[in-house]
C-alpha cells in the first residue's frame, strides 16, 4: 500500500496560515529567500528586523523538531531590506519523519512563491584537505538512499514527475557565492555532499567508499530539501560547515557534542558570508 502523502491542500493550509501571520505587511514584504539553518547556525535569524516568529507547532500540518541544538521556529523578517523566511531547525529522516514531512517547509515556501532557497548544515569532512571550521559550498550531491520526497503521486503544480537534477545547486549562485567569499577574505571550499540517512555516523569503510565515489563531505540533511526545491524550480544554494573529520579520516571518533561546538565556532564567519550572498543575490 502506498504511504500517505502530503496533499496540495495541506500545503495550501500551512502556507496560507504563514501568509496570514505576515499579512499586516505589504505585498512587497513577501519573502524572497527561504533559509534552512543547520546545527548551531540558527542565530542568523537574530540579524533580522521587523520579525514575526511562528512556532512550528502553530502551523497546520507542520511537523515539530526534536533534536538538541535545533530550535523549532520560523522567523520572517528583514535583512537590510530583503525579506527572509528563516527556519530555525529542520526535520530529519532519522528522527522518524517521512521524506514528505522533512520537506514540507520547502513545499510551503514554494507555494508562497519564494524563488530562492539557502540550505545549510553541519557536515563531516571526507576530504583530508579540509579541516573543522572550513565552509564548503555544495557543488552537487550524491544520494544513493532509496527513499525520495518525490516518491508517490507527483504534485504537478510544483514540477514534473521526472525532474531534472543537472544543476540543483544553481551554478550562477555558486559563482556569486565564491565572489562574495573572495571579497570578504573567507576561504570557501567547493565540493560534493554525500547524504546518509543516519542516525549512526558512518563507518570508516563507508567513508573510504564515498571518498572514492567523489564525496568531499557527509551529512544527514539538506538533500531531501534540495530535491524538493529543485523540483519546484527554486534557485538553490547549499553551504556546509565542516564540523569534524568523518570517521577514519583523523582516527578520532565522531561525537555529536563536538559537532555542535564546532558549529558555534564558525558561526560568525558563516553569518558574514551568508549575509553578503543574500544582498548580492537579491540584486540579480
Q: Which is nearer to ligand HPA, 98 or 244 (CB)?
A: 244
CB of 37 to ligand HPA, least distance (A): 14
CB of 229 to ligand HPA, least distance (A): 20
22 contributes a contact to ligand HPA by CB under 6 A: no
Catalytic residue, chosen from 65, 74, 79, 92, is 92
DSSP line for 71-118: --EEEEEEETTEEEEEEES---GGGT--HHHHTHHHHHHHHTT--EEE
Q: Which is nearer to ligand HPA, 33 or 196 (CB)?
A: 196
216 contributes a contact to ligand HPA by CB under 6 A: no
Catalytic residue, chosen from 193, 244, 246, 276, is 244
Q: Which is nearer to ligand HPA, 92 or 110 (CB)?
A: 92
136 contributes a contact to ligand HPA by CB under 6 A: no
In whole angstroms, give the CA distance from residue 8 to residue 156. Answer: 10
Q: Which is nearer to ligand HPA, 50 or 255 (CB)?
A: 255
Count Cβ neighbours within 10 Å for each residue of 258-277 and write b for 16 or more, e otherwise.
Answer: ebbebbeebbebbeebbbbb
Is 92 tagged catalytic? yes
Task: Classify the C-alpha dihedral 124-220-31-190 as positive or negative.
Answer: positive
Is 221 tagged catalytic? yes
User: Which of residues 119, 136, 218, 277 is near ligand HPA by CB under 6 A?
Assistant: 218
Is 145 tagged catalytic? no
Binding mask 224-263 for ligand HPA (x = CB under 6 A): -------------------xx-x-------x----x----
Is 220 tagged catalytic? yes
Q: Which is nearer to ligand HPA, 67 or 186 (CB)?
A: 67
Task: Tell which positions 182-201 bind ligand HPA, by CB under 6 A.
Answer: 196, 201
Is 154 tagged catalytic? no
123 contributes a contact to ligand HPA by CB under 6 A: yes
User: Which of residues 31, 40, 124, 168 is near ligand HPA by CB under 6 A?
Assistant: 124
Q: Which residues bind ligand HPA (CB under 6 A)?
A: 122-124, 196, 201-202, 218-220, 243-244, 246, 254, 259
Which residues are catalytic, by number?
A: 39, 70, 92, 94-95, 122, 220-221, 244, 256
Amino acid at each position: 500500500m502506498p504511504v500517505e502523502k502530503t496533499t496540495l491542500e495541506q500545503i495550501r493550509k500551512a502556507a496560507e496560515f504563514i501568509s496570514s501571520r505576515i499579512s499586516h505587511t505589504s505585498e512587497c514584504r513577501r519573502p524572497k529567500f527561504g533559509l534552512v539553518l543547520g546545527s548551531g547556525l540558527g542565530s542568523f535569524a537574530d540579524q533580522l528586523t521587523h520579525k514575526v516568529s511562528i512556532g512550528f507547532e502553530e502551523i497546520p500540518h507542520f511537523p515539530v523538531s526534536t533534536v538538541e541544538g535545533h530550535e523549532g521556529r520560523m522567523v520572517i523578517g528583514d535583512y537590510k531590506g530583503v525579506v527572509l523566511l528563516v527556519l530555525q531547525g529542520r526535520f530529519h529522516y532519522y528522527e522518524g519523519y517521512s521524506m514528505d514531512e522533512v520537506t514540507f517547509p520547502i513545499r510551503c515556501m514554494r507555494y508562497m512563491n519564494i524563488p530562492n532557497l539557502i540550505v545549510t548544515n553541519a557536515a563531516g569532512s571526507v576530504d583530508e584537505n579540509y579541516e573543522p571550521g572550513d565552509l564548503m559550498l555544495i557543488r552537487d550531491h550524491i544520494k544513493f538512499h532509496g527513499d525520495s520526497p518525490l516518491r508517490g503521486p507527483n504534485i504537478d503544480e510544483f514540477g514534473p514527475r521526472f525532474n531534472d537534477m543537472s544543476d540543483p545547486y544553481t551554478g550562477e549562485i555558486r559563482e556569486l557565492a565564491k565572489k562574495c567569499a573572495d571579497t570578504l577574505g573567507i576561504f570557501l571550499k567547493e565540493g560534493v555532499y554525500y547524504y546518509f540517512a543516519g542516525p549512526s555516523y558512518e563507518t570508516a569503510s563507508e567513508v573510504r567508499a564515498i571518498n572514492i565515489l567523489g564525496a568531499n563531505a557527509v551529512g544527514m540533511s539538506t538533500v531531501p530539501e534540495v530535491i524538493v526545491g529543485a523540483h519546484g524550480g527554486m534557485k538553490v544554494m547549499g553551504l556546509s560547515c565542516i564540523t569534524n573529520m568523518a570517521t577514519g579520516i583523523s582516527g578520532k571518533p565522531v561525537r555529536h557534542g563536538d559537532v555542535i561546538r564546532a558549529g558555534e565556532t564558525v558561526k560568525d564567519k558563516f553569518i558574514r558570508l551568508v549575509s553578503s550572498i543574500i544582498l548580492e543575490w537579491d540584486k540579480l
